[in-house]
Structure 1
């Protein structure tokens, strides 16, 4: 067993038993209810004439037990509806379908649609059915508040208080996140921003109508306010500040107002996994659970991908979903004083805290005591803003996870299989409990504030460039790994170390770099 694996095996029992960190992160068959009503399993979509604002009118998601069963259910629905039933999304990985139903029903039973869906679940034709729900990252849920961008530049971004608080200088001596791909499932990423440069993968995907690409850009709708444009770029920038050599995968599931749906978000998670992500950020939320998002998160975990989500920004007790999902790392926010950020939500399910605050002095942002991130500027310029929110705590936490994941090129192996990777990373991050803890409001509990320096100290040094298998040498074994992936795009759950030049493809340049780094074992 390599030294790093021996150390991990000895450490994990201590970490799992001692730290305040949930470890029920895999193979989760049933999700308990969070604050608010739950729409799960056999539950039909909302039947009230006055639907909650987070329910998308006339849109349903179903999971047929068999394809023909789904078609039979649609036939019965067509008999009570006037108009066309429109297929909006067909996810072949999750075996789910999203439909828009006509708003006019035939007959006197206002619940005819829901009765049909209930009966189909009860008879086994459908595994489940649910409403398609709104997810968003605007204020009061899990998003962030832009405070100011006046006079800020890369220097303030690089030297913000989180840099020293997380111990980045020390952490970067042990790992820089090389070989790790972080998917930012959000409003997209501005890949031209100076703070991100060549680290943004060209394999990003857009799932939102009205946007031509996964770039973090304005809506094509001239009436759009575009209030949340830049949110994904900001989160990606914080990931990159912590893990400067990690790749960034833009997955656009939210529009420039910061809104999307659970169906689209689930497709984004699936796409992130299929495109080789090791880590996923979800800086959005909804008050209710979603079965399709549950299954997408489980798919990610089973594939070796750890998922981070934001608790919410209402300054109140209660965490939004998907942060409340037990297989997700639920992040709340702390401030420059290493105390709880009062605008952050909290709940028993919070796993940890990370910086997510802004300080004002005489009406101006104090850049030494604020979170600062990159945002798209006008005319292609690179801009920076200060912002607060648990979304940004997610960015910092995902960066720390990238540093740690890069320290273990041996994963997956016989000891840590793909589905074990997320829970192992989460358990290791929880070791920070013994170094810095923050009391939640009411002093009823404490949670760890993550630390990149402490987290990376629990793992071995990340391998040097060219050492693809982590054995300390650059030799024929590494050459074989480059040749095995030659001409292709690196995939997870293994690290993307064969992509030596960071262009997201394994090619001749990588082969040349490997030969230049050749260093046989003694």
Structure 2
């Protein structure tokens, strides 16, 4: 069911009335298999006042503090704590009217999901990989992305030719070295040969879903979201093989995740040195908590790239939907998908808010267990843009950082020529599909 939004003086209350919630006054906090971190049905943003402490706030409002601002908060927009609650919708509405200060309440659990599906090379069907289409990394020692030894995966040759990747890498010979891209996703296969030497320092990793320091992709290949983050990270490294990946897990094996953990991961990524954050995930609900986190990190010059969603809808998902017009517009980017003919992918969302598209169909990359697999989705197009930005940031640039994403948008190839995508005119980006060579020529000194 759709969430009910109710505006109350001094606060905005967003409550999702799910059928399962309406049957019980106390909602379950049972964790999914392999999950140990507490999960909350609602998250509440609370502006802090002088003298507040974690214990005092929990005693006053109930709930559990899940984030507390650092010592660098300067005003009420920075000095906000998040509390997690497990209560009925009626109890949360009561909290909104009895709180002694303005609070913002929104649904938390499983609001976000990663997009895309595992696809086979034969017929584009969902795979249980047949006919040898799953491929292992030879000898468990593949190192094609390290120290300039990168060579294209032959399965992606047409994709990379479409966005002029080979010429772009020649223009950016550092290949993204010195740039850290945070992949906020299902985690990744940390032991995969493709990632050895390409991950950030382990002190920067975290699994916000399980509540530990090992953001490992978990599940069964071909089921739910398992392998999604591994694929996304592998795409970034095919574009910018010199970059480092910061693995942050916020999505479970089924591909869904919570508002509070995604917001925490965004803030963590910036604090730990990520220059680019890739969000191949989204929600049909506008999360103030997540958008506030994005606004905070983009104010610190971190670039955020978000996928547009895969429902073939004329409205893109959040936070991508706010990339073009929010406070963070100069540092945020939304990405949709087209096929190799530059036609809108059948699954891709579209909107006049969408800024750029990439070829997001059947994109091969590492898969858990020393395998290689292809996925399709706007989730696969987003890391192409993140990788492109990493290529640029690995070199001296001649444009201002705040103009870099706009340069990427303006250098895209036209996907509307000759009445192509006539039904989607202006809703697949101002111009359309990524052209990495044109982008780097316009960006680099």
Q: 1:453 to 1:298 in 2, by over 3 A?
A: same
**Higher RCO (CA-CA < 8 Å; seq separation 6+):** 1
**Is it true that 1:352 corresponds to 2:356 in the alignment?**
yes
1:432 paired residue number: 411
Map 1:353-502 to 2 at 5 A: 353-357=357-361, 370-377=362-369, 382-408=370-396, 416=400, 421=401, 423-433=402-412, 435-438=413-416, 440=421, 442-445=423-426, 447=429, 448-460=432-444
Write the distance in 2 (CA, Å) between the matches of 1:49 and 1:409.
Answer: 49
Aligned residue for 1:335? 339
Q: Deviations over 1:486-519 (max 9, x none)?
A: xxxxxxxxxxxxxxxxxxxxxxxxxxxxxxxxxx
The aligned residue for residue 307 of structure 1 is 304
Superposed, which structure 2 residues align to 1:214-293 within 5 Å?
A: 214-218=215-219, 227-293=224-290
Match of 2:82, SS state, is strand
The question of 1:65 aligning with 2:48 is answered yes
Count of residue correspondences:
378
Q: Map residues 134-213 of structure 1 onto 2, 5 A cutoff.
A: 134-137=110-113, 142-147=115-120, 148=127, 149=129, 150-153=132-135, 157-160=153-156, 161-175=158-172, 176-201=175-200, 202=202, 203-209=204-210, 213=214
Unaligned runs of 5+ in 2: 23-38, 121-126, 138-150, 324-328
Distance 1:192 1:409, change over 3 A: farther
Contact 1:133 1:286 in 2 (8 A): no
Distance (whole Å) between structure 2 residues aligned to residue 311 and residue 191 of structure 1? 27
Distance 1:88 1:225 in 2: 33
Deviations 1:415-440 (A, max 9, x none): x4xxxx2x31111102224x433455
Q: Secondary structure at the match of 1:43?
A: strand
1:393 Cα offset (Å): 0.4
Q: Once the 2 structures are TM-superposed, how far is the Cα of residue 347 of structure 1 from its aligned partner?
A: 1.3
TM-score with structure 2 length normalisation? 0.75
Deviation at 1:129? 3.2
Give the Cα–Cα distance (whole angstroms) in 1 for the partners of residues 64 and 194 of structure 2.
42
For the residues of structure 1 that align with 2:199 and 2:167, how far apart are their CA atoms?
25
Residue 42 of structure 1 corresponds to 11
Q: Give the CA deviation at 1:158.
A: 4.6
Q: Which runs of 5+ in 1 are unaligned?
A: 1-34, 79-84, 104-109, 358-369, 462-522
> Counterparts of 2:260 and 2:222 in 1: how far apart (Å)?
24
- The 1:112–1:238 alpha-carbon spacing in structure 2 relative to 1, beyond 3 Å, is closer
Q: 1:210 to 1:304 in 2, by over 3 A?
A: closer
Once residues 100 and 314 of structure 1 are traced to their aligned partners in structure 2, the CA distance between those partners, rounded to angstroms, is 30
What CA deviation, in whole Å up to 9, does each residue of 1:175-202 have, x standing for no partner?
1111111100001122332333311112
Distance change in 2, residues 1:324/1:273 (3 Å): same
C-alpha separation between the residues in 1 aligned to 2:69 and 2:188? 24
Shift of the alpha carbon at 1:102? 4.5
Following the alignment from structure 1 to structure 2, what is the Cα–Cα distance between the partners of residues 293 and 246? 25
The Cα offsets for residues 258-286 of structure 1, whole Å up to 9 and x where unpaired, read as 12101100000011101111111111111
1:433-492 deviations in Å (ceiling 9; x for gaps):
4x433455614325320111111111335xxxxxxxxxxxxxxxxxxxxxxxxxxxxxxx
Q: Relative to 1, partners in 2 of residues 1:133 and 1:240: Cα closer, same or farther, differing over 3 Å?
A: same
- Could you say which residue in structure 1 is the equivalent of 2:318? 321
2:294 aligned to which of 297, 313, 319:
297
- Give a deviation string over 1:66-122, Cα, whole Å, max 9, x none: 1657877755656xxxxxx4444445475322222345xxxxxx84542432454xx
**1:299 positional shift:** 1.2
Between the aligned partners of 2:228 and 2:240, the Cα distance in structure 1 is: 19
Partner Cα distance (2:106, 2:50) in 1: 18
Instruction: Output one character per residue of 1:128-187: Cα deviation in whole Å (capped at 9) or x when no partner.
Output: 33332524435xxx3333434443546883551211111111111111111111100001
